[in-house]
Chain A
Amino acid sequence: MIIIKGIGASPGIAIGQAYIFEDEEIVVTRTEIPRDQLRGEVARFKAAQKATHRDLDAAEAKVLKLLGKNHAKLIDAHRLILRDTLITHEVPQRIMNEGVNAEFAFSETLEAVNMQFEKLEDEFFRERRHDLFDVGKRLLAHLLKRNRRDLASIDKPCVLISRNLLPSDTINLQESRIRGFATDLGGKTSHTAILAQSLEIPAVVGLSDVSRRVKSGDTIILDGEQGLVIINPTAEAVAKYEKVQAEQIEAERALEQLRGLPAITLDEKRFELEINLDSSEEMKSVLALQSDGVGLFRTEYLYLNRPTAPTEVEQTKAYTTVAKAMSPRPVIIRTADIGGDRLTQMGIEGLKNETNPFMGMRGVRLFLRHLDLFKTQMRAILRSTLKGNVKIMIPMVSSVGEVQAVRRLLAQATAELKAEGVAVPEKVELGIMVEIPAAAVMLDAFIPHIDFVSVGTNDLIQYTLAVDRVNENVTHLYDPFHPAVLRLLQHVVSTAHNAGKWAGVCGEMTSDPNAVPLLVGMGFDGLSVSPRMFLRIKQTVCRLRHVAMAKLAAKVVTCSDSDEVRRLMREQGL
């Protein structure tokens, strides 16, 4: 048994016989061509180019069918490479000037471009040269009148081992019976890796010499998660991996069955399970999860990496896309929680360097100082309410005065839009993100001014425990199970519920299956979860008994430290 460590490019486990896919070594020799035949040589090159274009058309049709329009653009890029002046001018010129065969002229040209790619410092861009090789190999095969072996024709289940795998080869894997692949070359960001992930084929790359160490027919275990290849594993190792594989398939199936079902405990208490959204572009994948709503739409992405602030039109489009797609389910849009550094980037007179930006000018503090930015965002959000069930949430609130100021701004924006003939609704729900301990402690004072609350656990924990999570000296003190944090959470829920207001929770704690039992026990109405963990958290909720968790939650807030909290949870089998 030999274990080789590489880079996990696509998760999953594959077990099977090795199939060695030899990267056909194309040897190109230099042949001098008589002067009078050089034109013919150029014509031969052009014919090969045409044939390659036809290949690409076929590949494009295949990708379009399997992976959709976005992936098909890659093939179009390959077509443009084939049509690039670096090839179309350079190769015929070389043939004519040097009096050589088309194969040689072409491979020399490719090599010259490759050299330039190799000089790039950025690994991601250096990897792009594989796109060039992919096209190059197709064209050379045509020149040499060789058929490239088609992976789609492999008809026995196996694990593919190869020096390298081109994106065009990877596309064919779907139709084959290949269970996974391992290559010597390649990185996590290559197109081959991205395609493998889309096709859900386990893959390990960057193994340096796996293709030389494996013989056809060897038994192979491929662990795409850990990036491992095991050659001729012991019966024990095979049994272990088969078990893990079966468990993964079973776990996946169990999660899949929860899709579209309500998040409801064994004793039938229903929770709203929502999604945290980082950008309107994620909408498509998020829709497939069939969540109860968007509990936190972070809008910061609209303000990143740009020379000017996002316009009302641009923002309206983004918010409307999400509101429409989710309608009638609720979407809580959080106004931008950006810091002064973003303003400077957008060409707005910002602030001097802040030594502690986490406690500095950000969120509602910044927007109340830059009312133009705030109003633009408010107007855009208000416009989107026409297309769905939209609510507004304010980040970084620490005083009632801030909420009152936001209310005034909201009223002003509403009046403006109405005067412009936009039929915005009378009432749009406004809530606060509870993340500063001050707001949690005296939530009762905020209640008359707001319609709902949602706890942002990341910041609440960080501010309550005075722990900067990026400071490695104190990260061990960052503890969601600290009783002080739990007491604040409990206090927020009961204060909100006493006043008949909706209380949600977002932040990483809701995506942690270990912490969710406590949030369920405390009785939060809504849990907003990262898309990746959505089904997993639904499973957690569905396996709990609310009554038992409520008792547990009442107990944990009396604990003296988090060790005791964890012990109590363990006693409950959590």
Chain B
Amino acid sequence: MTPRLGLHAKPAGMFVREAGRFRSEIMVAKDGVEVNGKSVMQLMLLAAEFGSHVTLRITGPDEAEAAAALERLFVRKFDEE
């Protein structure tokens, strides 16, 4: 988890915006709990803090593109300043 304060409202929002561009189903899991990556509230409820590990499970027609796009988001550290 690369945003400095974890997956709070702003980065969760960015994640959902990005995920929403794809038709694939995007699930995000942490500590055995899996939620819908297109729901900002479910993502916030994951309470994924800085440095924690989440697993993305992406299935569907555009899964490769979705995976690449979401990975870029983490590498860019969610454009935090």
A interface, CB within 8 angstroms of B: 70, 73-74, 76-81, 84-87, 113, 116-117, 120-122, 124-125, 128, 131-132, 189, 191, 281, 284, 305-306, 314
Tell me, rounded to whole Å, the shortest Cβ–Cβ distance linking B69 to chain A: 17
Residue from the list A80, A191, A305 in contact with B17, Cβ < 8 A: A80
Residue contact A117 to B45, C-beta cutoff 8 Å: yes
Residue contact B81 to A122, C-beta cutoff 8 Å: no
Residue contact B10 to A122, C-beta cutoff 8 Å: no
- Identify 15 new A-B residue pairs, CB closer than 8 A, beyond the known A77-B13, A125-B8: A70-B79, A73-B14, A77-B10, A80-B12, A81-B41, A85-B38, A86-B41, A120-B45, A122-B49, A124-B8, A128-B9, A131-B9, A132-B41, A189-B5, A191-B9
Interface string of B6-37 (1 = CB under 8 A from A): 10111011101100000000000000000010
Question: Within the assembled complex, what's the spacing in Å between the Cα atoms of A78 and B44?
Answer: 12
Residue contact A74 to B10, C-beta cutoff 8 Å: yes
Residue contact B40 to A84, C-beta cutoff 8 Å: yes
B interface, CB within 8 angstroms of A: 1-2, 5-6, 8-10, 12-14, 16-17, 36, 38-42, 44-45, 47, 49-51, 75, 77, 79-81
Q: Which of A77, A116, A191, A284 has the most CB of B within 10 A?
A: A77
Residue contact B47 to A120, C-beta cutoff 8 Å: yes
A113: chain B residues within 8 A (beta carbon): 41, 45
A86: chain B residues within 8 A (beta carbon): 39, 41-42
| 11 examples of A-B residue contacts, CB within 8 angstroms | A76-B10, A76-B13, A77-B10, A80-B13, A84-B39, A84-B41, A85-B38, A113-B41, A125-B45, A128-B8, A132-B41
Residue contact A305 to B2, C-beta cutoff 8 Å: yes
Chain A binding surface SS class: helix
A80: chain B residues within 8 A (beta carbon): 12-13, 16-17, 40
Q: Give the 6 A-B CB pairs with smallest separation, nearest first.
A: A77-B13, A77-B9, A125-B47, A80-B40, A73-B10, A305-B51
Residue contact A305 to B12, C-beta cutoff 8 Å: no
Tell me, rounded to whole Å, the shortest Cβ–Cβ distance linking B31 to chain A: 12
Question: Within the assembled complex, what's the spacing in Å between the Cα atoms of A305 and B75?
Answer: 11
A305: chain B residues within 8 A (beta carbon): 1-2, 50-51
A117: chain B residues within 8 A (beta carbon): 44-45
Question: Within the assembled complex, what's the spacing in Å between the Cα atoms of A168 and B75?
Answer: 31
Question: Within the assembled complex, what's the spacing in Å between the Cα atoms of A121 and B45?
Answer: 11
In the complex, residue of chain A having the shortest beta-carbon distance to the beta carbon of B10: A73
Question: Within the assembled complex, what's the spacing in Å between the Cα atoms of A16 and B77?
Answer: 42
Residue contact A81 to B40, C-beta cutoff 8 Å: yes
B17: chain A residues within 8 A (beta carbon): 76, 80
Given known contacts A84-B39, A281-B80, A128 and B44 CB-to-CB distance under 8 angstroms: yes
Question: Within the assembled complex, what's the spacing in Å between the Cα atoms of A69 and B9?
Answer: 15
Question: Within the assembled complex, what's the spacing in Å between the Cα atoms of A497 and B33?
Answer: 62
Question: Within the assembled complex, what's the spacing in Å between the Cα atoms of A113 and B40?
Answer: 12
Tell me, rounded to whole Å, the shortest Cβ–Cβ distance linking B41 to chain A: 5
Tell me, rounded to whole Å, the shortest Cβ–Cβ distance linking B3 to chain A: 11
Residue contact B36 to A85, C-beta cutoff 8 Å: yes
Question: Within the assembled complex, what's the spacing in Å between the Cα atoms of A87 and B40?
Answer: 11
Given known contacts A81-B40, A305-B51, A73 and B13 CB-to-CB distance under 8 angstroms: yes
Question: Within the assembled complex, what's the spacing in Å between the Cα atoms of A191 and B17?
Answer: 21
Residue contact A281 to B81, C-beta cutoff 8 Å: yes
Q: Which of A85, A116, A117, A128 has the most CB of B within 10 A?
A: A128
